[in-house]
Amino acid sequence: MGTRLLGLLTEAAWEKGESWEVKNVDLQPSHFFPDVTVIGDARVREDMERELKGADVVVLLAAQHRDDIWPVDLYYDTNVGGMKTVLAAMESCGVKRILFFSSVAVYGINKKCPDENHAKDPFNHYGKSKWEAEQVLRSWWEEGHRDWNVIVVRPTVIFGERNRGNVYNLLRQISGGRFLMVGKGENRKSMAYVGNVVTFVKYALEHLREGYNVFNYVDKPDLTMNELVSHVSKVLHKHIPMTHFPYWMGMAGGYCFDLLAKITGKKLAISSVRVKKFCATTEFDATKAHTCGFKAPYTLAEGMARTLEFEFVHPQPADGITFKSE
């Protein structure tokens, strides 16, 4: 996600003459953008004050996002503590614009297409810590910082080239013909193509310069799991058989993998949380994002086709560089 955003902004600066001067502060060096990357920790105020001097806007992506982080305090140390540290450093450095990446996880699962004003009911520590970070940011703005410009983006699950998250794992299983469907496959899933998400971020930074703004980001339409399998089958021009397992059996298997992970100390691809998320309906309303003047450069089908082409039709990239996400 961060790498694609860096690519978009640096391309705009170099090729289109737009006035973007970008700095990437990360815990790890960047393979693609080493010249603009510095090592720093969002939880360490000295790092943030050093790197934010002279900045106009902060895009806060730093987060613990996997659903198997242990101990769970790490979610709050990074997602909430990082927010507090960054805000204090911004004030010290005179920076008054921030775009924060939250998540639709703040709404919980099996809700009826929530918009930005829907009640918050996160079901896991990732969602809870993201909502707590949002509350910290809102309180900061309301209590003496209303001259700041705040943009909160709550994306749904993001997929795209090189992105090794839950959607990639799902597409790999489907394309490989080894797909086991837990449940009836009638639950709907909102998804977002990374190329559209970063373009929306760029649009928001350019056009939303005042006040406190909150947006869900989803690329429509929402597909059922059965429709997703059918779509992948058509794009890849191959028959993909499906075996359905009842929900209780899938959850039982997930709990077994939870126990195995705890015994071995290893992070496994299957867990009860992931089975629960897989079988849940997770569709969200993104009308606000798509009616504010922004136009997504790709349809959901085009983004899916680009991802499948890159990951499964042609050989993997020789450099082997991939990005982890949920």
Task: Return the pLDDT at 255.
Answer: 95
Per-residue pLDDT reduced to its tens digit, 77-107:
999 999 999 999 999 999 999 999 999 999 9
From 8-12, 30-34, 42-46, 258-262, the region with the lowest mean pLDDT? 8-12
Sign of CA dihedral 216, 326, 60, 3: negative
Give residue-wise pLDDT tens across range 172-201: 888 887 778 999 999 999 999 999 999 999
Q: What is the pLDDT of residue 16?
A: 65
pLDDT higher than 90, residue 160 = yes
Percentage of the chain lying above the pLDDT 70 cut: 94
Q: How confident is the model at residue 166 (pLDDT cuts 50, 70, 90)?
A: confident
Tokens 């060096």: give the residue.
Answer: 29
pLDDT of amino acid 168: 84
């720093």: which residue's tokens? 40
- Over 90: is that where the pLDDT of 284 sits? yes
Please name each of the domains of the chain with its CATH number: 162-188+223-315 (3.90.25.10)
Contacts of 208-214 spanning 24+ positions with Cβ under 8 A? 208/149, 208/151, 208/292, 209/97, 209/149, 210/149, 211/149, 211/150, 212/138, 212/141, 212/150, 212/152, 213/150, 213/151, 213/152, 214/116, 214/151, 214/152, 214/154
pLDDT at position 52 over 90:
yes
Angle in degrees, 0-180, between the axes of helices 300-308 and 194-207, rounded to the nearest 10: 130
- Is a pLDDT exceeding 70 seen at residue 246? yes
Residue 314's pLDDT is what?
A: 75
Cα–Cα distances in Å, from 161 out to 169, 202, 286? 12, 19, 23
Amino acid present at 214: V
Strand partners, 37: 24
Query: Has residue 320 got a pLDDT over 70?
Result: no
Place of tokens 């297409």: 113
- Show which residues are catalytic: 126
Residue 176 confidence (pLDDT): 82
∠ CA 191-197-202, nearest 5°, is 165
Residue 315: the pLDDT is 56
The arithmetic mean of pLDDT across residues 212-226, rounded, is 96
CA distances from 86 to 60, 80, 149, 179 (A): 8, 10, 15, 42
Mean pLDDT for the chain overall: 90
Query: 24: part of which helix (H) or strand (E)?
Result: strand 24-26
